[in-house]
Structure 1
Amino acid sequence: MEKRAAQGSQKRSEDSILKRSPFDLILNQIQRKTASVGKRERPSVTRFFKGLAEEKSKAEKKKEIKTGEANNSIADGHHQDVSETGESELPGPETADWRKVKQFCQKLGKKPNSKSMNLNNCGLTVTDIMELVALLPLLPDVEELDVSWNDFIGGTLRPLTLELHRVSQLKILRLSNCRLTADDTDALGQALKLIPHLEEMDLSWNGNIGGNLHPIVQRFQKGCSLKVLRLIDCNLTADDGISLAQVIPLLASLEVLNISSNKNIGRACEHLLSRLRFLPKLKSVFVNNCALQEGSFTALAEATLHLSGMEELDLSWNKCVGGNLKKLLDAMSVATDLQVLSLNSCNLVTEDLAELASVIQAGHLERLQKLDLSYNDSVADEGWTVFFQCLHKLKDLSDLDISLRPLSSRYCGAWFGSLLASLIKMPTLTDFGVQRWVLTTLEQRQLESFNKKNKRDIHFDCCCSAQDITK
C-alpha cells in the first residue's frame, strides 16, 4: 500500500510539473539557486520579474489605448482605408456594406475607392456585372465608373444601366472595347436621364455602335453637362454622322470630341463638322484617319473660324489636307490658343509648308507647343527650307516631328543650316523627330555638338548618317 501510495504521489508530482508553464519552471530554478545566497538577494529577483510584469502591463495598456482610439475614429467617421500609394480609398467608416465592396474589388485585383469604381481590363463576366449591379446602392458617391476592355460583357449592359440612378452623381462613364450590342446602346440611351451630371462618356472600340448611335444621341437634353465624347473606331456610318450633327446644339458644354478612325463617315460628315461652330467651349477635335473628303475638310476649316478656344486639332492620315492646308490656316488667326497641331501623313506639298511658314511668321501660332508633320515625304526641300527659316517664331514649341515614312530615306539638303539657326532661338524645344533623314558627316558632328555648345538638352530622334545608308 505504501509503495502504491508513493507511486501515486510521484505521478501527481510529475503531472504537476508538466502542467507548469515554462515561465514557472524557470522562476522555480532561479528561486532555488538564490535560496542559498540569503534573504538579502531575493528582493532583486523579485524586482526583476516585477519589472517584467510592469512592462507587460504597460504594453497591454498601450494596445488597449490604440484599439480604443481606432474604435473612436470609426465611430466618428474618420477611419480611412489607405492604399499602398498612401491615398485614401474610403473617406467614410468601415461598414459591413463597404466590406462587400472591398471584397468585390479585391477579387478582381483592384483597390476600392468611394469616388471611383475602376474595373478596367478585369475580365468581367456576366456574373460580375450582376454583382456590380447589387453593389451600386452601396456606392452613392461614385463619380467615375470604368468597365472598359472587358469584352465578355457585351449584351449585358441593361441590368447595369437600370440601376445607374443609384449613382446619380456619376460624371465619368467609360465603356470602351466592351463589344456593346444594339440592345446595350439602347439601354445606355435610356439611362442618360438617370445620370444628369455626366461629363465624360467613352464608347470607343465598340464596332457594333456603327448604325446604332441614334438611341444614345437622341436622348441628350438641352443644357447637357457632357464635356468629353469619345467614339474612336466605332464603325460609325453616314447615318450616325447625321445623328452627332442633329444634337450638336444641345452639347454646349462639350470640350473634347474624338471620332477618329471612323473611315465610313469621311464622305458624310460635312454637316457634322460644319455644326461644330455651335460648340463655343470646344477645345480638342480629333478626326484623324477618317478618310475625310475635301468638302468635309472645308467644312471643318470654316467651323474653326468660330472656335477661338481651340487648343488641339488632329487631322492626321487624311490625304485630302494635302494641297488644301491654306483653308485651315486662314482660320488660325482666330484660334490663337492652339497648342497641338497634328498633320501626320496628310500628303502635304511644298505649297502647304510655305503657307504654314507664312502663318507662323505672322505670329498666329505663337502658343503652339507640339507640331507633327511626319510622314509627309511629298514636301520638297525648298518647302522645308522656308519652314525652318521662320521656325524660331514658335517660342513655346517643345515637340516637333518631321520624320519620313518607314523604309524611306532622304538627305537633309539645304534646310539643315536654317534648322540649326532656328534651334538656337528656341529655348523650349526638347524633342525633335527626324527619323530616316540622312546626315552628312559634317552635319552629324554639328548636331552632336549642338547641345553641348549651346547648353541645351534636345533629344534628336534617330538621325542617320550617310555611312549608315551605305551599310
Structure 2
Amino acid sequence: MSQTRKKSSSDGETKPRTSFVSKFLRGSKLRSSKMESRNESNDLKTADSQTSDEPQKTATLDTGTPLTSEMEPGCRVERFLQKLGKKAEDACLDLSNCGLTTADVREMVALLPFLPDLETLDLSWNDFVGGTLHSIMEQMHLVSKLKSLRLGSCRLTTDDVRALGAALKALPDLEELTLSWNSKVGGNLPLVLHKFQAGSKIRTLELVDCALTSEDGAFVGQLLPLLPSLEVLDLSMNRNIGGSLNSIAQGLKSASHLKVLKLQSCGLSQKSVKLLDAAFRYLSELRELDLSCNKGLGGGFEDSPAQVATLERLEVLDLHQCSLTAGDVVSLTQVIPLLSSLHELDLSANKEMGSSSENLFSRLRFLPALKSLLINSCALQREAFTALAEASIHLPALEVLNLSWNKCVGGNLKLLLETLKLSTSLQVLRLSSCSLVTEDVALLASVIHTGHLTRLRKLDLSYNDSICDAGWAIFCQNVWLLKELTELDISLRPSTFRDCGQWFRHLLCAVTRLPEITEIGMKRWILPPSLEEELKCLDQDRSSSIHLDHGGCQ
C-alpha cells in the first residue's frame, strides 16, 4: 500500500503521513521520557553518586532518550526493514522480493505483536516463506486489522495452504488476498477459502497460475455469492477451470460490484462465450475484461454476444491470441463501437481477422476515449489498414499504437500521415517487422521535423531491414527533436548483420540532445572500431545511464 497523504486544514498543502513504524518509535520515546520525569526526583541522588566507570547506565542523548532506546520495539522494526533494504510505509509491511531467509521470517514473526495497526502485509516472491507460513499465520490474530495479504510466488506447501485457511477467520477486515503462482493452491482451494462467510469484505482475489482444478473452479462459482464486495477476480493461467465455467458464470451473476475479470489462458471454449455473455448483463460495473490467450474461443462470438454491449463502463477489452474468425469479427463490429468508454483494445495475434476487419476498424471512430490500440500480428490487408488509418484521425486520445508484424504497413505509412500530424497524445509507436522502406522513415522524419509527435516516449522500428543508410541518416538527423523519447529500437532481424554507416554519428549526436533517453536497441548493427572511443566518451559525459545494445565492434 503506497503511503497516503493528508491535507493541512490551514493552507491546503499536502504532507506525507508519518509511517506507523516512526509513530510507534516516537511513542516509545515519549513513554520513556515520561517515565524519566516521574522518577527524576527520586533518582537524582543515585545518579549523582554513580561512578564514572558506568556511563552507559546514565548517559542520555540530547533529546532525553536513553541510549538503550535502540532496543525499543519501534527501533527493532525499523532496523529490520533497513537490513532488508526496505522503507517503512504507513500501515504497510512490504517485504516482497527481498530474499527473506528462515531466520528473517522468525524475526518478522517476533515483531508482529508490535504492529497492531498493520493493514498490508506483502511477502510475495520469497521462496523461503514456503514451509514456514504456519508460524506467521499463528500470529495473525495480533494484526486483526489487516486488509491486504499478498503471498504471490512463495512456494507454499499444502500445510501452508491449510494454515492460511485456518488463520483467515482472525482477519475479518481482509479486503485483498493474493496467492498467485503457488501451485499447491490447486486442488486445495477450499482449504484456503472455506472460512469466507456470507458478507465477506474481500474486494480482490488473485489466483493466477495456481494449478486450479475443475473442482476448484466449481468451488469459486459457489463462493462468489458470498463475496458481495468483490471488485477484482483474476483466475488467469489456470487451464483446467474452463470445464467448470458454467459454475463460475452462475456465480458471476451475484458479483454486481465486479470491476475487473481476468480469465487469460483458462482453457475457454466457444461455449464459454455464451456462458459469460449470459452473466454480463449482471456486471454493469465491469471496467476490465481479459479473455486473451484462449485459442478455443475462436468462433464463439459469431452468434452475436449482445450482452457485451451492455458493459457501458468497460474500459479495457483484451482478446489477443483468441483465434478470432471472420465471423467473430463481424459480430464484434456490431458490439465494440457501442463501448463508448473503452480506453484499451487489444486484438493482436489474431491472424484470421486480417482480411475481414475493414468494417471493424472503420467504426473505431466511435471510440473517442480510446488510448491504446494493439493490433500487431493480425496479417492486415491494405484495405483494413486504410480503414484503420482513416478512423485513427478521430482518436485524439490515442497514446499507444502497435502495428508491428503487419507487412502491409511497409510502403504505405503515408496513409497514417494525417494521424501522425494531428496526434498530440501519442507516446508509444511500434512498427517492428512492418517491411518499412526508406520512404517510410523519411516520411516519419519529416513529421518529426515539422514539430509533431513531441510526446513520443517509445519508438520501435526494429526488424525493418529494407531501409537503406540514407533513410537512417535522415531519421537520425531529426530524432533529437523527440525530447521525451526514452526508448528507441532499430535492431536488425536475427538473421541479418550490417555495418553501421555514417548515420551512426548523427545518432550519437542526437543522443546527447535527448535528455530522457535510456535504451537504444541496435542488435546486429556492427560498429567500426573508430567509434568505440566515442561511445566511451558518451558514457562518461552522460550523467544518466544509456543502454546501447549493438552487435559489437569489428
> TM-score range with shorter-chain normalisation?
0.7 to 0.9
Gaps of 5+ in 1: 1-65, 467-471
> Closer, same or farther in 2 for the Cα pair 1:82/1:260, shift >3 Å?
closer
Aligned residues: 391
Gaps of 5+ in 2: 1-112, 118-139, 152-163, 194-200
> Closer, same or farther in 2 for the Cα pair 1:456/1:223, shift >3 Å?
closer
Deviation at 1:413, TM superposition (A): 0.8
User: Deviations 1:200-221 (Å, cap 9, x if unpaired)?
Assistant: 1111111121111145742134
The letter of the residue matching 1:198 is L
1:108 and 2:174 are equivalent in the alignment:
no
The residue that corresponds to 1:302 in the other structure is 390
Aligned counterparts of 2:171 and 2:466: Cα–Cα separation in 1: 66
Aligned counterparts of 1:291 and 1:353: Cα–Cα separation in 2: 21
What's the secondary structure of 1:465's corresponding residue? coil
Q: Normalized against structure 2, the TM-score is what? A: 0.66
Aligned counterparts of 1:168 and 1:332: Cα–Cα separation in 2: 41
Aligned counterparts of 1:79 and 1:286: Cα–Cα separation in 2: 42
* Aligned with residue 538 of structure 2, among 450, 453, 456: 450
What's the secondary structure of 1:152's corresponding residue? helix
What's the secondary structure of 1:159's corresponding residue? helix
1:280 and 2:342 are equivalent in the alignment:
no
The residue that corresponds to 2:359 in the other structure is 271
What's the secondary structure of 2:373's corresponding residue? strand
The residue that corresponds to 1:313 in the other structure is 401
The letter of the residue matching 2:185 is L
Aligned counterparts of 1:166 and 1:252: Cα–Cα separation in 2: 25
- Does the CA contact (< 8 Å) of 1:340 and 1:370 recur in 2? yes
The residue that corresponds to 2:419 in the other structure is 331
Aligned counterparts of 1:428 and 1:215: Cα–Cα separation in 2: 49
Alignment of 1:11-410 (within 5 A): 79-80=145-146, 83=149, 94=169, 108=185, 114-215=202-303, 217-221=305-309, 224-410=312-498
- Does the CA contact (< 8 Å) of 1:190 and 1:216 recur in 2? no
1:426 and 2:514 are equivalent in the alignment:
yes
Aligned counterparts of 1:456 and 1:133: Cα–Cα separation in 2: 51
> Closer, same or farther in 2 for the Cα pair 1:141/1:282, shift >3 Å?
same
User: Deviations 1:206-257 (Å, cap 9, x if unpaired)?
Assistant: 1121111145742134571111011111111111111121113310000100
CA RMSD of aligned residues (A): 3.1
Which protein has greater RCO, CA pairs closer than 8 Å, 6+ apart? 1
Aligned counterparts of 1:134 and 1:451: Cα–Cα separation in 2: 59
User: Deviations 1:276-335 (Å, cap 9, x if unpaired)?
Assistant: 000010000000000001111111111110001100000000000000001112211222
> Closer, same or farther in 2 for the Cα pair 1:223/1:120, shift >3 Å?
closer
> Closer, same or farther in 2 for the Cα pair 1:244/1:82, shift >3 Å?
closer
> Closer, same or farther in 2 for the Cα pair 1:416/1:241, shift >3 Å?
same
Deviation at 1:114, TM superposition (A): 1.4
User: Deviations 1:88-123 (Å, cap 9, x if unpaired)?
Assistant: x9xxx9479999x98999961899881111111111
Aligned counterparts of 2:178 and 2:524: Cα–Cα separation in 1: 53
User: Taking every aligned residue pair, what percent have the same amino acid on both sides?
Assistant: 44
The letter of the residue matching 1:83 is L
What's the secondary structure of 1:229's corresponding residue? strand
Aligned counterparts of 1:102 and 1:268: Cα–Cα separation in 2: 42
What's the secondary structure of 1:166's corresponding residue? coil
Deviation at 1:84, TM superposition (A): 6.3
> Closer, same or farther in 2 for the Cα pair 1:358/1:82, shift >3 Å?
closer
User: Deviations 1:439-467 (Å, cap 9, x if unpaired)?
Assistant: 1111122112212134442110134111x
Aligned counterparts of 1:155 and 1:178: Cα–Cα separation in 2: 9
Aligned counterparts of 2:216 and 2:488: Cα–Cα separation in 1: 45
The letter of the residue matching 1:284 is S
- Does the CA contact (< 8 Å) of 2:380 and 2:406 recur in 1? yes
What's the secondary structure of 1:289's corresponding residue? coil
Deviation at 1:433, TM superposition (A): 0.4
The residue that corresponds to 1:31 in the other structure is none
The letter of the residue matching 1:199 is R
Give the ranges of 4+ consecutive aligned residues of structure 1 lying more than 4 Å apart after TM superposition: 93-99, 101-107, 109-113
- Does the CA contact (< 8 Å) of 2:283 and 2:311 recur in 1? no
